Amino acid sequence: MVSFNMFKGGIYLDTQIYLDKIVACFKEELKENLLGIYLHGSLSMG
């Protein structure tokens, strides 16, 4: 269960950690083939 009790800079810290892990997985898997990662929807718009 993810807690959403810490808020900083417009994003929940638990969410930021989750997104950082996703980015790390893509970087590890795709290496130099990764050109960018885009976040859209309600999470990116605040």
Residue 38 lies in a domain: yes
Residue 12 lies in a domain: yes
Residue 9 has pLDDT above 50, yes or no: yes
pTM of the model: 0.66
Q: Is the dihedral of CA 24, 30, 34, 37 positive or negative?
A: negative
Q: What is the pLDDT of residues 10-46, one digit of tens each?
A: 666 788 888 999 999 999 999 999 999 998 888 778 6
Residue 17 lies in a domain: yes
| Residue 14, pLDDT score | 80
Confirm if 6 and 14 have CB atoms less than 8 A apart.
yes
pLDDT band at 2 (very low <50, low <70, confident <90, very high): very low
> What DSSP state is assigned to residue 4?
-
- Residue 14 domain boundaries: 7-45
Cβ-proximal residues to 18 (8 Å cutoff; 6+ apart), any chain: 2
How many domains does the chain fold into?
A: 1
Residue 2 lies in a domain: no
- Residue 19 tokens read as 């997104």
Residue 1 lies in a domain: no
Residue 12 CA to its chain's centroid (Å): 10
| Residue 16, pLDDT score | 84
